[in-house]
Chain A
Amino acid sequence: MTSESLFAYSAVVLGLAAFVMLGRLIAGPTLADRAVALDAMNTLVVALMIVLSVLFDSVVMVDVAIVYAGLSFVGTMFIARYLEGSM
């Protein structure tokens, strides 16, 4: 077993974990629950992109993951401002 296959297996597990969180995103009783699920999914997608950058052998994917983390942070802050009622 090479280390690349370890990264492949963990990418599958991370993708499944992010996909299972979709249930709470759909069924969450309040809007804050959906925001929590979306934030956690974004974190897992960033981790998945970093793991996949080894498999696809490209450093550019890590840069895209950094930008994605920043954009998801801005989105979370907008949802939080909307929930507070100050928008």
Chain B
Amino acid sequence: MNFLFRNLHIAVFAILLLATVLATSPLFAQDASEGANLVNEYRCYACHDMDKALIGPPYQAIAARHAGQKEVMEKVLATKIILGGGGNWGMVPMVPNEHVPEQDALIIARWILALTPSR
């Protein structure tokens, strides 16, 4: 393995790392579309829909229930996304999603809480 090739890989790795850091910075976290993308990436749609109950409650119903306590619920909801559990919406606990980084869970939680309930 020659020296140049080895260093090329280090450079590529550094660029990837930089891209990762940028993508997870607070600047990007503000972007609501990021939340929608993460909901797809982590396949939340297997159990949740925007306005109808599947296995779990609709996103809009979650937003409506916690409309008055968004700041508190941001962290709580992110924690629940990762650890699962509950009984908050019936007797069925949510599955744990321990592979979801806290940063991403917070973005998803913010996105849910910002939704406007439909009438």
> Are A and B associated in one complex?
no
